[in-house]
Structure 1
Amino acid sequence: MVGEILKSPFGVNTRAVSLSSRQNYCINPLVSKLKNIALINERCLDMQKKSKANKVDSDGKVLKRAKGMSSGQCPYNKQQNIDDLRDSALTSVCDVEDLVKIGKQLNACPYYASRKAAEDAHVVLVPYNTLLHKNTRESIGLKLKNNVVIVDEAHNLLDALAQMYSSEISLQQLQDARGRLRAYKQRYSKRFSAQNLLCINQILFVVSGIISLLDTKIENQSKSAVYTVEAFVLSAEIDNYNMFKLLKFCRTSKIAHKLQNYSSMYPIDSVAPPNKEQKNARAKMKDFLDSIENKTSGSNVVSTEEVTLTPAKSTVAVGNPFLAFLSFLEALTCTYEDGRIIVHKGDQCKVQFLLLNPAEQFKEIVRDARAVIVAGGTMKPISEFRNRLFVAAGATNDRIVEFSCDHIIPPENILPLVVTKGLQGERMLFNFENRFSMGNCIKQTLLEISSTVKGGIVVFFPSYKYEAWVYQQLQDVRFGKPVFREPQNTGSVDSVLNAYACAIRKPNSTGAILFSVVGGKLSEGLNFSDDLGRCVVVVGLPYANIYSPELKEKMVYLDKTEGAGSGQQFYEAICMKSVNQCIGRAVRHKDDYACVLLLDDRYDRLGTKNSLPNWIKRSLQTCVFADGVKSMKDFFSRMKQANK
């Protein structure tokens, strides 16, 4: 985004500042080495309370302290240096890396300098979570009143909101959190005030109640039960506790960080079951609470769906499990109508909070901002943003304006084809029931595409499992081009992309093929321009698992709140947004050109066509594959002549 500002006519005179976390901005090696963002935040705040600063050498490096010496003030937290860095940030457009580099030169903290610079900036650049998460927004001092909010790449805005305010925690993490808190309480019990000890005991009972619900033996261990928030707290027998009060205690006492520090010094056997005395204590507390008000949980379950879960190893509790518990505890304070809690049993035993109405978390932004602009290259269906975001967040219809513009490329530079039949006349249908019987068809199709297209061919499959299956089917095929595969490990993505690009750009290259997955690491945010993406192939329609309890509950909620059929529209929209993102990886500038092949006859349905971008829909042709090959040859021959 900083680069785009610099390209604009206003770039030189624009005061633009990037806000980011301490993890990205901290230049103090004693703090940044901690890696965990929660620990970095805590250490930074602790160092500000010190009276004596650490010394730095002429290069700005913190000098080593004598053994046993406690850390002092941060040497980069000097007001004059921070003011100098703030001024530097306002006189030139800087991204995060630029500000860190200048901060090291000035021995000034980029984190606090950027926050000071934001007060006088024309444009403040922030990550999604900084803008959308209320607590983060408030902690960083981001002001919305009378300002214009622009959300770029907003096609996933509703999903991002839902995921940001959703939460899950595994049984193992809960047991680990309980074990740590018990040990911490036992060691320091005499130091706690009566009020703090009461809060810690209540937290332990809440954690134990959730564990008991998860650990209950049921007839079918692969069932998932869906609860309202109210029904869940009743079933877990934790309805007598004030979650808001407990959450406030955890935040003000910073108990999560204290537990992390304590656990690093004293390893804890977290999964040990409670002893007899602990069980009796819990039973006595339960009896006392039940004597106040008896409640039954027999009818609390909204729905119970039998779902086959993929066998997996037990989740390993990494990091600080108490932070995961706090996130879930915060979810329990949600408005009951806006969320559901799903209890997954079996191999992946966990409890998950699902936010059904993300617009509720967008209300403050719509209310306070002068204007809110959501922008993106693939925003269809627009009705989703109008109805489920802005209207649901309280915006009146007269405030909502839609604007769309055509693609920068001319229509003749794109060849979009819906392919309904293969070379042998077989139906192109890559649905879940049929896709694994299409081995010969996909083999012939990809081989023909490879021989027709010179340059990069990016093939998107509906899942990693299907991509792996197709790759195995092609072991005896010689494409005349190297085949690269999207790695499931994020750390390997750059090396694969570099190898793919090198294979295409080397002298006398015939191109390369890249197997990718819809919704994977290569389907968004990457540009396959020019020879890197002369052909984009989408195999089938990537529909989500209709039997997923999360998806089913969301569809039921939409049918209930927006009318019958709304859930199905949502289901279709998820699929087509993913397809549109894949299509958008190619043709990235006005002189670019590419062919787009949609391999499935379901793309020929009117509703599916209408969900495609206008710049694709206006040139879309439906054909059998033999005719499609002829069209591709004519298209690339014409483009070759035009670009001589």
Structure 2
Amino acid sequence: MAPSKDFHHPYQPYEIQQQFMQAVYDCIEDGKVGIFESPTGTGKSLSLICGALTWLREHKGKMFDEAMQSVQIDDDEPEWMLEHARSSKRSEALQMRADFEERLALVREKDRKTREHAAKATHLQKRRRQGNGKTDLDDAYLEQFALDDYESDKDVNSGEMSKYSAGTTDVLKKLGLLGAEDQDAKPTEMDEELKIFFCSRTHSQLSQFVGELQRARLPPGLPPGDSISTGTTSTYEEVKQISLGSRKNLCINPEVNKLESQTAINERCAELQQSKTPSEKKCSFLPNKDNQELVLDFRDHALASIHDIEDLAAVGKKLRICPYYASRSAVDPAEIVTLPYPLMLQKSARAALGISLRGHVVIIDEAHNLMDAVESTHSAQITELQLRIGREALMIYLQKFRNKLKDGNRLYVTQLVRVIDSLLLAVTQVQAVSGAGGVLDAGALLAGKAVDQINMSKLAKYISESRIARKVEGYAAHLKQTDVVNGGVEQASGVSDTPILTHVQNFLTTLANPSKEGRFFWSRDESDKSITLRYLLLNPSENFRDIVAEARAVILAGGTMSPMEDYTAQLFPYLTSASISTLSCGHIIPASHLFVRTITSDASSPLNFTYKTRSDTTLIRRLGNMLLELLPKITGGTVIFFTSYAYLSQIQTQWSADSTLTKLAALSKPLFFDSRSSSAEATFASYSTAIHSNPTRGAVLFSVLGGKLSEGINFSDALGRCVIVVGLPFPNLESPEWKAKAEFLDRQPGAKPGAGKLRAENVCMRVVNQAVGRVIRHKGDWAGVVLVDGRFGQERILRKLPGWIKRSLPEGGGSGRVRDVSEGLGEFFNERTAKQVA
């Protein structure tokens, strides 16, 4: 048997970790798409790091050797000339590498010089004057709300460069801090490194990944060379990593980062860089011709050690250079780039950050949410109230500034009013339709006069670049403050986190999408009968395809990826099975540490918590009796998941009325209920305190599948000795959205019969699997899992459980009655408790 490959794991890896790292390595080597599942608590992040970085360093070494061998000379030259040419080329390349490593090794010395430079720069800076709260109507004050002249699309630069003055653009180009379209224009000290782009949902998850990355110790990808100091040891080389984030995370200008919304921060940042902005009011932290050395210092600081996003902001503050822009200088020489979902999934966001995925490796962690994230990123909605307030605010704005609008602004503002009117016309038409909602044809939204001739993409771009949304909102707030107007405009002022016209802009973007990729819907609010218009992306594959096409390999990883057929069918329908690699790892715990059973009936009859039957008062009372039988068998914490907050509230109400809650309280286990209105952190903290004060007695936490306490919460050890799932959280298959989704999936080429229903089933079981996976967090952990519903007795449903859960399920599915499961649960806890004491 061949020895296992050394992936330089900082600990002795388990067999499943070795298997996972090998799968990651092979997937990248073969240039495939990988869908990998590794349960929570199995060291997934570290396995991803070691598998991917081992490939990266080895591949780098192979490419270096091949490049050296490719050096050729004339055929009539002697062999020693060829060897000399190759040796010279090798030494030159390694020396360049060594010089860069030495820069990183000497970064502390550079920091001293930077502080001196920053101190001089600070002395020369002028303090920005704060606003005096002036609210009178003089023209000088109101000028801030006027629109800048807007040239036609033929005369204006596109993309991020159009936001800045020519001088700023030139400096940003030279430093390589603009979008990907400017990559050819920038001089760099080093060629771009082959790299890994690692993304996850949130910055906190990325920070956890960065913490794991600090454990990695891998050998250098390139040889040290003869008598060349690389600034590294002979056994390993520090990983070069950079975290990318939004301005909201990285802005260090106190006048900008005090703003609450992402939109406001972006707009204010762009305003401070405009050519018409006085030099003393421009952002002093922006890279310019006088502080280019600071950008390189920032790059060296960023790469000298591993940083999360908060660390980079601190480095920027110390060096007094904008980390949002300066971090881009570290992308090319970095080996790992970490970034959140939104910056990866939007092509425009990647272009704005100046990153290209071509030929690189993309790893998406927590990928069980990926399809939802793609759909959410490219979907939008707008309410009737937003449309009416937005139009009113826009018309009031035009009354004041109409005469100052030149041709470019006049054209687009007129188009904007027409589009809003057209959307309001559609709202009026559906008001007369009965029902709570339905599907809308795109043509109905564009039925206004000449609206179908408007280029929605250009109009949305105009709203963004002209910043008309913020100016209209700001003027409305000014009028309210001076009591000039009231009524509807008051609701539009504030100024809000996201201006109403920005919501309009987002909705306009969806009107430019191909109709085959999504559908428009309307819904009626039962409380005030108002209408909401929504666009739902139905086909996420096309919006993810450019990532797959550009990258060398794409890996989707998560603790709960089962069932996996959703990803292949909806994200990669254009790929053959040979291009996709899948792996569902087992768990590091032995099967004996997990007790898994299904309860399909009690002494009376089957237990079916379907949407039609779950509100039956007799069924809810039988559920309470079942818990009264199970809970005394459990030591430690029990987490009980229900299908929705509304259903949990209904159960709580009935149990209060029929004394079931009193009986449950008599078990001496404190009871805690999650709710939409309560703080999840506070509920979990109270539950944890009760558990830690008496681990044997434990406590009971009633929560919701897919709710605030079903994902990202650590129910390790006594916090989660048993998880009980009541019912299956199927989406509402009768809603217009799910009907459209099912119809779309059923029509796809090669779709299985009932593909839409299958998708709903997969979504449902992924939520169940995510909740169940919360209770096992490390190799010594153990827990019981009880699945309560007649449908859990179906093989089709059980097949969608992760492999590590199915292996602890008895042959035949473990389907049983309450009494049988109660006895087995008691035996399991007695055995585990005895072993724990021993």
TM-score using structure 1 length:
0.85
Q: Render the CA deviation track for 1:453-497: whole Å, top value 9, x for unaligned.
A: 11111111001011112223143231312112224247x222222
1:104 Cα offset (Å)? 3.2
1:402 Cα offset (Å)? 1.7
* Larger radius of gyration between Structure 1 and Structure 2: 2
Distance 1:12 1:361 in 2: 37
Partner letter of residue 245 of structure 2?
A: S
* 2:499 aligns with one of 320, 323, 341: 320
Q: Superposition pairs for residues 233-632 of structure 1, below 5 Å?
A: 233-234=446-447, 238-267=451-480, 271=488, 319-346=498-525, 347-391=529-573, 394-422=574-602, 424-437=603-616, 438-472=619-653, 473=655, 474-477=660-663, 478=665, 479-489=667-677, 492-507=679-694, 510-561=697-748, 562-620=751-809, 621-632=814-825
Moved more, 226-235 or 237-246: 226-235
**Greater length-normalized contact order (CA 8 Å, ≥ 6 residues apart):** 2
SS at match of 2:446: helix
SS at match of 1:126: strand
Partner letter of residue 119 of structure 1?
A: D
In 2 relative to 1, CA 508–560 (structure 1 residues): closer, same or farther, beyond 3 Å? closer
Partner letter of residue 377 of structure 1?
A: G
Instruction: Identify the residue that residue 7 of structure 1 maps to in structure 2.
Output: 215
In 2 relative to 1, CA 196–102 (structure 1 residues): closer, same or farther, beyond 3 Å? closer
Q: Does 1:205 align with 2:412?
A: no
Q: Do the aligned residues in 2 keep the contact of 1:604 with 1:622 (CA within 8 Å)? A: yes
Q: Do the aligned residues in 2 keep the contact of 1:155 with 1:376 (CA within 8 Å)? A: yes
1:185 Cα offset (Å)? 2.2
Q: Does 1:148 align with 2:328?
A: no
Q: Render the CA deviation track for 1:145-167: whole Å, top value 9, x for unaligned.
A: 11101111111211211111011
1:420 Cα offset (Å)? 1.4
Partner letter of residue 135 of structure 1?
A: S
1:431 Cα offset (Å)? 1.4
Instruction: Identify the residue that residue 74 of structure 1 maps to in structure 2.
Output: 284
1:12 Cα offset (Å)? 7.4
Q: Do the aligned residues in 2 keep the contact of 1:228 with 1:336 (CA within 8 Å)? A: no
Q: Render the CA deviation track for 1:556-605: whole Å, top value 9, x for unaligned.
A: 11111135311111111111111111111111111111100101121010
Distance 2:277 2:688 in 1: 53
1:502 Cα offset (Å)? 1.4
In 2 relative to 1, CA 236–590 (structure 1 residues): closer, same or farther, beyond 3 Å? farther
What are structure 1's unaligned runs of at least 5 residues?
55-69, 273-315
1:269 Cα offset (Å)? 5.6
Distance 2:531 2:486 in 1: 19
Distance 2:624 2:365 in 1: 38
Distance 2:530 2:673 in 1: 28
In 2 relative to 1, CA 547–475 (structure 1 residues): closer, same or farther, beyond 3 Å? same
Instruction: Identify the residue that residue 260 of structure 2 maps to in structure 1.
Output: 35
Q: Superposition pairs for residues 105-184 of structure 1, below 5 Å?
A: 105-184=318-397
Distance 1:409 1:367 in 2: 38
Distance 1:116 1:486 in 2: 46
In 2 relative to 1, CA 76–195 (structure 1 residues): closer, same or farther, beyond 3 Å? closer
Q: Render the CA deviation track for 1:28-58: whole Å, top value 9, x for unaligned.
A: 221111111111112222333479999xxxx
Partner letter of residue 46 of structure 1?
A: E
Q: Does 1:637 align with 2:830?
A: yes
Moved more, 32-41 or 342-351: 342-351
1:80 Cα offset (Å)? 4.0
* 1:25 aligns with one of 223, 226, 250: 250
Q: CA RMSD in A?
A: 2.5
Partner letter of residue 482 of structure 1?
A: P
Moved more, 397-406 or 101-110: 101-110
In 2 relative to 1, CA 400–572 (structure 1 residues): closer, same or farther, beyond 3 Å? same
Moved more, 100-109 or 336-345: 100-109
SS at match of 2:615: helix
Q: Do the aligned residues in 2 keep the contact of 1:27 with 1:109 (CA within 8 Å)? A: yes
Partner letter of residue 413 of structure 2?
A: I
1:610 Cα offset (Å)? 0.6
Distance 1:639 1:616 in 2: 18
1:628 Cα offset (Å)? 0.8
1:123 Cα offset (Å)? 1.1
In 2 relative to 1, CA 237–72 (structure 1 residues): closer, same or farther, beyond 3 Å? closer
Distance 1:345 1:469 in 2: 24
Moved more, 27-36 or 453-462: 27-36
In 2 relative to 1, CA 350–507 (structure 1 residues): closer, same or farther, beyond 3 Å? closer
In 2 relative to 1, CA 2–49 (structure 1 residues): closer, same or farther, beyond 3 Å? same
SS at match of 1:403: strand
Distance 1:53 1:413 in 2: 68
In 2 relative to 1, CA 140–9 (structure 1 residues): closer, same or farther, beyond 3 Å? same
In 2 relative to 1, CA 568–159 (structure 1 residues): closer, same or farther, beyond 3 Å? same
Distance 1:406 1:428 in 2: 30
Distance 1:436 1:587 in 2: 32
Distance 1:75 1:327 in 2: 30
In 2 relative to 1, CA 397–602 (structure 1 residues): closer, same or farther, beyond 3 Å? closer
1:428 Cα offset (Å)? 1.5
What are structure 2's unaligned runs of at least 5 residues?
1-208, 219-235, 490-494
1:501 Cα offset (Å)? 1.2
Distance 2:592 2:566 in 1: 31
% identical equivalent positions: 36
Q: Do the aligned residues in 2 keep the contact of 1:602 with 1:608 (CA within 8 Å)? A: yes
SS at match of 2:638: strand
Distance 1:447 1:103 in 2: 58
Q: Do the aligned residues in 2 keep the contact of 1:167 with 1:328 (CA within 8 Å)? A: yes
Q: Render the CA deviation track for 1:102-144: whole Å, top value 9, x for unaligned.
A: 4333333332232222232211111111101122221122211
Distance 1:462 1:600 in 2: 12
Partner letter of residue 380 of structure 1?
A: S
Instruction: Identify the residue that residue 63 of structure 1 maps to in structure 2.
Output: none
Partner letter of residue 816 of structure 2?
A: C
1:337 Cα offset (Å)? 0.9
Distance 2:412 2:274 in 1: 27
Q: Render the CA deviation track for 1:90-111: whole Å, top value 9, x for unaligned.
A: 1111112222334333333332
SS at match of 2:661: coil
Distance 2:530 2:688 in 1: 39
Size of the aligned set, in residue pairs, is: 582
Q: Do the aligned residues in 2 keep the contact of 1:50 with 1:73 (CA within 8 Å)? A: no
Q: Do the aligned residues in 2 keep the contact of 1:53 with 1:75 (CA within 8 Å)? A: no
1:228 Cα offset (Å)? 3.6
Distance 1:330 1:609 in 2: 41
Distance 1:327 1:480 in 2: 53
